[in-house]
């Protein structure tokens, strides 16, 4: 995993369209799955009972929506810095992230704008794993501070 400097500040002026976020990867194993299920208290059997998940048409147990949201949220907040703010996050769960996979969270800046006194950055975001490819595409809008410290122009 990449080391993140949580005291760092990211400014809107320093972001370029086409920039790729460093992202991070996580290896999923049975222990991580148990911790995730117990921590979220999502007791749906498709997340902890392999036979049940397979009888339900899944290849095996898989990580839930809360975990997916947390991975994408971490990607954005780690990148945005201490004064950044996630304005909008949306994603589609198109594939499973299962035990045994290595999942990578990454994103690319697709646009920048100043609107309603906010300096905003648009991003395409993704989770992908080494078994399936992209499992979770999405979009996000992040508000960043301006170097001047003032409000963005409308």
pTM value is 0.84
SS3 (DSSP) at 50: helix
Q: How high is the pLDDT of residue 1?
A: 47
Q: What does the alpha-carbon distance between residue 119 and residue 80 come to, in Å, rounded to a whole number?
A: 12
Q: How high is the pLDDT of residue 60?
A: 74
Judge whether 101 and 28 are in contact, CB under 8 Å: yes
Residues of the chain with pLDDT under 70: 1-7, 38-48, 62, 154
Could you give the domains of the chain?
17-144 (3.10.129.10)
Q: In what order do the strands lie in the sheet with 85-91?
A: 24-27, 102-115, 118-129, 133-144, 85-91
């Amino acid at each position: 995993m990449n080391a993140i400097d949580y005291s760092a500040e990211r400014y809107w002026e320093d972001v370029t369209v086409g920039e790729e976020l460093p992202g991070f990867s996580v290896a999923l194993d049975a222990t991580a799955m148990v911790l995730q299920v117990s921590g979220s208290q999502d007791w749906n059997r498709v997340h902890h009972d392999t036979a049940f998940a397979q009888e339900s048409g899944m290849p095996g147990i898989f990580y839930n929506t809360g975990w997916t949201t947390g991975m994408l949220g971490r990607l954005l907040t780690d990148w945005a810095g201490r004064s950044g703010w996630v304005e909008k996050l949306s994603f589609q769960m198109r594939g499973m992230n299962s035990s045994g996979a290595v999942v990578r969270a990454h994103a690319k800046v697709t646009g920048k704008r100043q609107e309603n006194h906010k300096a905003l950055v648009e991003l395409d975001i993704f989770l992908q794993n080494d078994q399936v490819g992209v499992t979770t595409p999405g979009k996000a809008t992040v508000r960043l501070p301006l170097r001047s410290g003032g409000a963005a122009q409308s």
